[in-house]
Amino acid sequence: MVYTAGTMSPVVSNRRRSVLPAVLAALVVSAVAVRCADVQAAEAGKTTGLQMLEEIQAVITDLAEATKPSVVNLFPVTPSGKGRDFLQDRTPNSPGSGSGVLVDSDGHIITNNHVIGDASEVEVRFSDKSKLIAQVVGKDPDTDLAVLKVTSDHPLPYAKFGDSSGVRVGQWVLAVGNPFGLDRTVTLGVVSGIGRENVNLSRYENFIQTDASINPGNSGGPLFNLRGEVIGINTAIINFAQGIGFAIPSNMAKQVLQQLVAQGRVVRGWLGVGIQPLTPELARKFGVTDNEGVLVNEVFEKDPAAVAGIKPGDIITRIEGTVVDTPNRLSRVVAGLQPGVMTKVEVVRDKKRMVLDVALSERRDQAVVASLPPSRTDVKLGLDLQDLTAALADKFRLRETRGVLITKVEPGSLAQSEGLREGDLIKEVNRVDVGSVGEFTAAISKVRRGETVLLRVLRESRAFYVVLKAGDP
């Protein structure tokens, strides 16, 4: 049989027509099966997702229930002529109220110093509505922390400290306190930042930042991690912002607590230097990179740094292996060390690194931080100078006998913009001592127009460095 193009065997054609319905039916069944599987998978996914959310929710609710009993409401007791054991009735949001947290079985409570103020006794309200009077064990204004103690005839619930050095940005936290007198309010959030300083709330700042809602009355209350451990003591908010609160790290709080309980005060290490931030201009003059350390502008006579050989112009980069890249951090690290401890201090001097052993003493005052505005360029120095005399030294309360005194600062000049003023005493020009106007002029004459000039300046009893860009010498 011959077939022409476009024709096909009748047998083949009939066979194909009989197979197609079966194939289509199989495809339909398969599609339906896939669709059913998809629906079942989606339903299963929804169920699994909901279960996960419910499990997370259960963790949070269980955490809240477990932590709330350790949080207390505090009211400083003011003299009122009433008996010692009289518990005043106060409105829930009365001024001076705040929060605290029990931290051991002995009845110690940690809170903020600003919550306690000058009170020696504090009314404590517990989650079961009972009340006790707490005695103030000690206060530390430098960290804004205070410790109280209550005595009870039955065990009190308390929380445990966690390790704040392991806190990470993004982790969940729970803040518990008494905002506006609303007892044991719980808010959930995340850690928004760590190591926050220069907030100007206390001398030693290393705050944990959180977006867990903190309001007036939360001060002194705990910040918990998901394990129910205290990782911070809530201390402040930024009034004009939302979701920006700060907590004192638990490691700092624990150290303060231990010292206040043991000896009623906090003892801190003392290095004996004046310091200032290392600006980009100063970094270039001293031959280091930006933010590599902290500039020493003054070394106090007979103090630990002086005895160990630290000098003005040294850049302190590490203390006991810890990087110190801001004045606040340097002060905090030194303060955290015990007096009498031999401490290794790494410095950069004339672009050379060295490690000095320093025997810290007890802090008697804070290191002085001098901060000046960033330099402008291509303007004259704008200074009138004079040799220092005994009369001028007395007038400007200077204990020096030699130096170059600034007698006038031209308005609008670079010197004024850098914070220099009448009565400042110039002691060095580009790391060279200058004791007279002649020596100052000789040192400046070596500076070419457009180059920077590093001055070490003494103001009353404090020194600092400043960088100027020379115009006409």
Predicted local confidence at residue 367, as pLDDT: 42
Q: Give me the CATH code for the 383-469 domain, please.
A: 2.30.42.10
How much is the pLDDT for 27? 52
Sequential pLDDT tens for the chain (473 residues)? 433 233 333 433 444 444 445 544 555 556 556 566 666 666 666 678 888 888 888 888 888 888 889 999 999 886 653 433 333 333 333 445 789 999 999 999 999 999 988 888 899 999 888 999 999 999 998 899 999 999 988 899 999 999 999 999 999 999 998 877 677 788 898 999 998 887 777 788 889 999 888 877 788 999 999 999 999 999 887 766 677 889 999 999 999 999 999 888 888 899 989 888 888 888 888 888 877 899 998 888 888 999 999 999 999 999 999 999 888 889 889 988 888 889 999 999 988 999 999 999 987 644 444 433 333 333 367 788 888 888 788 888 888 888 889 988 888 777 888 888 888 999 988 888 888 887 888 888 777 766 788 899 988 778 888 888 755 43
Residue ranges of E strands in 178-228: 185-196, 207-210, 222-224
Active-site residue set: 114, 144, 219
Instruction: Determine the 3-state secondary structure of 60 from DSSP.
Output: helix
Residue 144 among known ligand-binding residues = yes
DSSP code string of 372-429: -PPP--SS---EEEEE--HHHHHHTT---SS-EEEEEE-TTSHHHHTT--TT-EEEEE
The confidence score (pLDDT) of residue 110 equals 96
Helices (H) and strands (E) in the chain, counts: 9, 26
165 is in an annotated binding site: no
Name the percent of the chain in helix, strand, coil, to the closest 5: 25, 30, 40
Predicted pLDDT of residue 443: 83
The answer on whether 62 is annotated among ligand-binding residues is no
- What's the rounded Cα separation, in Å, for the pair 388 and 323? 40
| Same fold yes or no, 269-362 and 383-469 | yes
Q: Which residues sit opposite 277 in a β-bridge?
A: 294
Contacts 24+ apart (CB under 8 A), 83-86: 84/133, 85/133
Query: pLDDT value at position 108?
Result: 96
- Three-state SS for 107? coil
Would you say the pTM of this structure is higher than 0.75? Answer: no
DSSP output for 115-183? HHTT-SEEEEE-TTS-EEEEEEEEEETTTTEEEEE---SS------B--GGG--TT-EEEEEE-GGG-T
Range 69-266 classified under CATH 2.40.10.120: yes
Write out the two tokens for 468. 């100027």
Is 114 marked as a binding-site residue? Answer: yes
The CA distance from 224 to 156, in Å, is 19
How many residues comprise the chain?
A: 473
Q: How far apart are CA 198 and CA 207, in angstroms?
A: 10
The answer to whether 471 is a known ligand-binding residue is: no
The predicted structure's pLDDT at residue 241: 66
Sequence spans of domains, the chain? 69-266, 269-362, 383-469
Query: Could you tell me which CATH number the domain at 269-362 has?
Result: 2.30.42.10
